[in-house]
Amino acid sequence: MMRGMSETPPLTSIADETAYAEAVQLAVDASAAYYGDGTSTLDDDAYDRLVRGIEAYEAGHPDQVLPSSPTGKVAGGAVVGDVPHTVPMLSLDNVFGPDQLAAWAASLERRLDHPVTAWSVEAKLDGLAVSARYRRGRLVQLVTRGDGQAGEDVSHSIGTIVGLPERLAEPVTVELRGEVMMTTAQFADACAKRQAHDGTTFANPRSAAAGTLRTRDRPYVCELTFFGYGALPLPPGDDSPLAGRLRELPHSQIMEWVAGQGVQTTAVTPVAGVLVADLEAVRARVEEIAAARAGLDFGIDGIVIKCDLAADQAAAGFSSRAPRWAVAYKLPATEKITKLLAVEWNTGRTGIIAPRAVLEPVELDGSVVTYATLHNAADIARRGLMLGDSVTVYKAGDVIPRVEAPVVHLRTGDERPIDIPRVCPSCGDAIDATQERWRCVRGRACRAIASIEYAVGRDQLDIEGLAVNRIQQMLDAGLIADFADLFYLTRDQLLALDRMGETSTDNLLAALERAKAQPLSRVFCALGVRGTGRSMSRRIAAHFGTMDAIRAADAAAIQQVEGIGPEKAPVVVAELVELDALIDKLIKAGVNMTQPGVVRPPADEAADEAAGEAGGEAGEPLGLPLAGMSVVVTGTMTGPLAALSRNEVNELVERAGGKASSGVSAKTSLVVAGDKAGSKRTKAESLGVRVATPEEFAGLVAAFL
């Protein structure tokens, strides 16, 4: 349907009958593998392109259509399972982009002969469709989709699937349909278990879920997750009152009933199904779900749009393979198979030596990916990666692309082992390989240029006029070895540098003087402690108030800071010990080591006492406009906030007494939503959290701008 429009990915071109027969065989094999053990030689995108190529060829050569062709068949004709479905489990037709969606809706409304006024819009989950049969409230049988007419009995999995209760709230007989999948955490756990068992990992969460659901006698158990998306009378001809209601109620109300039975639905996620009245609102929700995708802890591959009313569904009916009253709006792929061409090893500013995968360029979630993270040498060994391997690569939204696993059955024998460096790739000194993350024995000194460049950056000390070539010049001249040395530079030393005039010298000295007064949060951030970026630095500074207090803290005390777990806390403590001399040098230079608003300067306390005021407790910024509030800033800032970086807006929140946070929850007090705010705004609205425009917010904190 509606193929060949501009937003559709290109189809595989098939030249002749031989190529057509090969393409059909390839698609049938891929489909059988996919619905069999969850592996496939083709990723989703490649499979879609292939099938559309086959369709195009068949349209031009109707006399050559092979009976085994995957076109027009559910699950590409893969035959698995022998449990007949009560009602066929059909797949959905796809649309790519808003134009095709509008065309689909228009043709549906022509067929119905009236406009659709109730649309249900929900995330399309990237898992396996299953049917769950309950008798008198007890889960008695679980069946995969199979070929849509009959599936495989996987009842042995009952009891390992979160969200699919063994008993419903009421003793009803009903068939539920939904998706079985693995969350990010479940996938990591499953990979670790399989690794421990046979040294291999799963390629991705979906194949892990497929394999887990269908395997009967694995020596280890992996947890799965279920989200329900439909309920049917059982048996189909049942004439009980419940069956009647399931036939007559709108889809949205059936899903409320399903959730009320204790079954998990997407209502508990940021991509909950919503009911809207027109196509414009459908499009808005499609955008919101697409924007929320990268932040989800489970995979979605599109958005399902369906008529909510039972009467509309009945009037629209079915084609041979799909309902006419629903469609899948496909989102760009977030995972594809590509080639691992090379592995580069780089030393970062803290001396950590990290491998990076160089890939055959591949388009993922709307951008071309050429590099992906490989974490560390141990991780490469664990995954058994080799150069030349076909690998699954994942990327969504702003996350750093990552290589998930090699596709072992695509190996040709030409793969080679990955070279592991024996010395630091930056300075040639030895590697400290005692930790999983390798490090140059010279530590931060190895890439002093990078640490200094980071420290003087806009979100840290914000020292203008210190470009990277200037820093290099100072390092070469032996004037500095770290960023604390900058504060000891004299006017004469600077003037002696090439291309350094009086004006730039004075400007730099003034900028250095201003930098000494930066709040502790920025000074701490400038240290570049591993695992602490801008927001973590602000939290640490707000928690402890002074550098003395931070340095005095042990791992248990550091762990009191939100977001620092038992793994990170000892790293922070060890890093601070390593940075001892640097911090002392900063203190001696007169750099500020307190966080304003947390611990007030002694002069203020003296004034308070003189005035006979009780004063607030240290650490309690009272009387500030955002006191006690948790604030989330999202979207593009406008008005008085337009010139501020996200870090600066968060600092503003904290100056005004609030706590800057990144995730919206019921505890959030206020969401500042700029242009293109997306899912955080939606979530705030659904939770009833107050939402302000950047302009309204600027008015609230005007005194602190």
163 φ/ψ sector (left φ>0, alpha ψ -120 to 50, else beta): left
**Bridge pairing between strands 390-394 and 367-373:** unpaired
635 φ/ψ sector (left φ>0, alpha ψ -120 to 50, else beta): left
Is residue 235 reached through a cis peptide bond, with omega within 30 degrees of 0 on the bond before it? yes
- Stretch 430-469 residues interacting with Zn ion (CB under 5 A): 440, 442, 446
Q: How far is the CB of 689 from Zn ion (least distance, A)?
A: 48
Q: Which two tokens stand for residue 363?
A: 């388009």
- CB closer to Zn ion out of 429 and 685: 429
**Bridge pairing between strands 439-440 and 390-394:** unpaired
- CB closer to Zn ion out of 143 and 446: 446
Binding mask 365-404 for Zn ion (x = CB under 5 A): ----------------------------------------
- CB closer to Zn ion out of 359 and 431: 431
Q: How far is the CB of 424 from Zn ion (least distance, A)?
A: 3
Q: How far is the CB of 532 from Zn ion (least distance, A)?
A: 22
Tell me how far apart the alpha carbons of residues 301 and 305 are, in angstroms, rounded to a whole number. Answer: 13
Tell me how far apart the alpha carbons of residues 121 and 214 are, in angstroms, rounded to a whole number. Answer: 30
- CB closer to Zn ion out of 226 and 345: 345
The β-bridge partners of 644 are: none
- Stretch 20-39 residues interacting with Zn ion (CB under 5 A): none
Q: What is the DSSP letter of 527?
A: H
Chain centre to alpha carbon of residue 279 = 28
Q: How far is the CB of 632 from Zn ion (least distance, A)?
A: 40
- Stretch 397-436 residues interacting with Zn ion (CB under 5 A): 424, 426-427, 429
Q: Active-site residue among 73, 124, 659, 683?
A: 124
Q: How far is the CB of 441 from Zn ion (least distance, A)?
A: 7
Residues 6+ apart with CB under 8 A from 465: 504, 507, 508, 511
User: 């009378």: which residue's tokens?
Assistant: 233
Q: What angle do CA 105, 107, 111 make, to 5 degrees?
A: 115
- CB closer to Zn ion out of 422 and 499: 422
- CB closer to Zn ion out of 330 and 444: 444
Tell me how far apart the alpha carbons of residues 68 and 623 are, in angstroms, rounded to a whole number. Answer: 75
- CB closer to Zn ion out of 370 and 426: 426
- CB closer to Zn ion out of 348 and 519: 348
Q: Which two tokens stand for residue 480?
A: 């500095």
Q: Is residue 124 flagged as an active site residue?
A: yes
Tell me how far apart the alpha carbons of residues 63 and 111 are, in angstroms, rounded to a whole number. Answer: 31
Q: Does 354 bind Zn ion (CB under 5 A)?
A: no
Tell me how far apart the alpha carbons of residues 96 and 87 are, in angstroms, rounded to a whole number. Answer: 28
Cβ atoms of residues 70 and 244 within 8 Å: no
Spatial CA neighbour of 435 closest among 532, 373, 372, 354? 354
Residues in contact with Zn ion, counted by CB under 5 A, come to a total of 7
- CB closer to Zn ion out of 424 and 573: 424
Q: How far is the CB of 475 from Zn ion (least distance, A)?
A: 15
Q: How far is the CB of 353 from Zn ion (least distance, A)?
A: 8
Binding mask 213-242 for Zn ion (x = CB under 5 A): ------------------------------
Q: How far is the CB of 255 from Zn ion (least distance, A)?
A: 57
User: SS3 letters for 333-391?
Assistant: CCEEEEEEEEEEEEECCCCEEEEEEEEEEEEECCEEEEEEECCCHHHHHHHCCCECCEE
Tell me how far apart the alpha carbons of residues 108 and 102 are, in angstroms, rounded to a whole number. Answer: 10
Chain centre to alpha carbon of residue 698 = 30
Q: How far is the CB of 422 from Zn ion (least distance, A)?
A: 12
For 49, 594, 599, 617, the CA distances from 605, given in Å and listed in that order, are 71, 15, 10, 11
Residues designated as active site: 124
- Using CB under 5 A as the criterion, which residues of the chain lie in contact with Zn ion when the complex forms? 424, 426-427, 429, 440, 442, 446
